[in-house]
Structure 1
Amino acid sequence: MKTTAEIANLFDETKWGKDFARQEVEIIAKYLSMHAYSKGEEIFRQGDKERYMAFITKGRVDIIKESHDCLEKIVVTLSPRTHFGEMAFIDEEPRSASAIARDDVNMLVLSRESFEHIAATHPAIGMKMLRNIARMISQRLRMTTGKLVYTRE
C-alpha cells in the first residue's frame, strides 16, 4: 500500500501534475486510489457504468471501440503519464469504449464521489480539475472534427 506522499509523487509525474502546485497535488493524492492490472486484463468494458477517471503511472492501456458488427478496433494506445475515462466521469453515461491493459499497468483512480468531495472542500482545485477535463475533451473533439472534414465539390 502506497503512502499519500508516494501517490502524490506518482500523480505529480502525470501530465496533470504540472498544472497543480505541490500543495494541491498532495490534497488530490488523498482522494486517489492505486490499482494494478495484468497484461491483457480488462479495466472496463464498453457500456459499463463506473464513474471514475484514471491516470496511468506504469504500462500502456488500449482503448477499444466495438462497432455495430461486433468487431473491435484499437482507437488509441495510451502511455504512462496520460489519463482516460473522463467522459463517463463527467457525463455519467455508460463507457463509450473498453480499456484493456496492453502491459502490466498501474494507475491512479479518481472516483466521481472523491472529485465531488474535492470540489466541495477545495473549490479552486475542483475548478482547475474541471478546466483540465474540459480542455482535454475539447482537444479530442477538435481532432475528431479535423478527421471528419471533407472536400466540397
Structure 2
Amino acid sequence: MARNDKHLTALRSLRLFHACNTKELEQIARLTDEVTVQAGRRIVTEGDTGAEAFVIVDGIATVVLGEDRISDLGPGQHFGELALLDGGTRTASVDAVTDMTLLVLSRPAFMGLLDEQPGIARRVMATMATIIRDLEHPGSG
C-alpha cells in the first residue's frame, strides 16, 4: 500500500471524518505530519493541554489513566481527537510500546481547513452531532 493510501486509510478510521469523501480526506492528509516515536516514549501526558490528534500508522501504544493501563492501541486507531475541537486537557497518557509511525494533525491546521472548506466543516459537525446523540441515548442510533 502506498504511503498516501496508508494515510487515507488511517484518517478514515477517525469517526470525526467518517462522512468525508476521498478528496476531503486527501485535503486533511496534506495537513498531517508523519512522525516516528521510539518504544518507551510518552506521546501525550494526562492533564496536559492538547493541540493535536494522532492516528497510528504502525506500532502499538498503551493508554494509561493515572497509574492504570487501560488499553492498547494499534494501526488504524487514534487518540487525542478531542484536542482538534476544543484544545482541552488530555484525559489520559499514551505511551509507545513499540517503535511507532503516527500521523499528527494539529488543531490550528484543522481549524484553518474548516474555515476554508465549509463542506468539510458541515460534515464534521454532522458527525459530532451523531456522536453526541449516541452518548446521550446509547443504542437509539
TM above 0.5, one fold? yes
Residue 24 (structure 1) aligns with: 24
Q: CA deviation at 1:132?
A: 4.3
Residue 58 (structure 1) aligns with: 58
Consecutive unaligned residues of structure 1, counting only runs of 5 or more, are: 67-71, 146-153
How many equivalent residue pairs?
132
Residue 75 (structure 1) aligns with: 70
Q: 4+ residue runs of structure 1 moved beyond 3 angstroms?
A: 16-20, 129-139
Residue 10 (structure 1) aligns with: 6
1:46 and 1:110, CA in 2 relative to 1: closer, same or farther beyond 3 A? same
Q: CA deviation at 1:114?
A: 0.7
- Give the Cα–Cα distance (whole angstroms) in 1 for the partners of residues 132 and 81 of structure 2: 8
Consecutive unaligned residues of structure 2, counting only runs of 5 or more, are: none
Alpha carbon RMSD of aligned pairs, Å?
A: 2.5
Q: TM-score, normalised by structure 2?
A: 0.78
Residue 112 (structure 1) aligns with: 107
Q: TM-score, normalised by structure 1?
A: 0.73
Secondary structure, aligned partner of 1:9: helix
**Seq. identity, %:** 27
Bigger RCO (CA 8 Å, 6+ sep) = 2
